[in-house]
Amino acid sequence: VPKLKVAKTNTGKGVFAGEDIKEGTLIAMMSGLRMTSRQTEEAIEAGEMRSDDPFQIGENTFVELDKPAYYFNHCCEPNAGIRKGQELFALRNIKKGEEICFDYSTTVCTHCEWEMRCACGAKTCRKVVKNAATCPSACCQYYAKKGALPKFIARELE
Ligand SMILES: [Zn+2]
């Protein structure tokens, strides 16, 4: 996997490319402690997790991400995506120094009530990011074509 650097951003921390990364390259494994929906909800209610933190990999499976995976931010026009459930990969060529982001909506099931304000700066910024059902269809088609739409989400969007 390529070199990565965790550094400060306007909103906290983010992960940056430590070298040029070619389209299709595996960037990081989105791994950590596996939890059920119920365990995730309880952890959020107890204040042990923030609602933006759990990473969904299946209908009823979430991951409490290890670092540095935890620090990847959302962008409405991302340079990375998720394949095979837990692989973050480059959707296009990424230059050294660019922040690496993916679209959080691609991993939030259509019946999850979740939202997050976004100020990613992209032309197509959705301002408020919600579950996969709210992702513009052109956007979903692009992710699907790139293999960056997890199966459990693609099934729900059919
Ligand atoms: Zn945005």
Output the pTM of the full model: 0.94
Pairing of strands 87-90, 80-83: antiparallel
Distance of CA 22 from the midpoint of ligand 1 (Å): 23
Whether residue 142 has pLDDT greater than 90 = yes
**How many angstroms from the chain centroid is the CA of residue 74?**
6
Q: How far apart are CA 145 and CA 85, in angstroms?
A: 16
Whether residue 40 has pLDDT greater than 90 = yes
* Distance separating the N- and C-terminal Cα atoms of the chain: 33
Distance of CA 71 from the midpoint of ligand 1 (Å): 16
Distance of CA 30 from the midpoint of ligand 1 (Å): 21
| pLDDT classification of 10: cutoffs 50, 70, 90 | confident
Distance of CA 124 from the midpoint of ligand 1 (Å): 7
How many C-beta atoms lie closer than 10 Å to residue 36's C-beta?
12
Predicted pLDDT at 52? 86
Q: What DSSP designation does 75 have?
A: -
Distance of CA 76 from the midpoint of ligand 1 (Å): 4
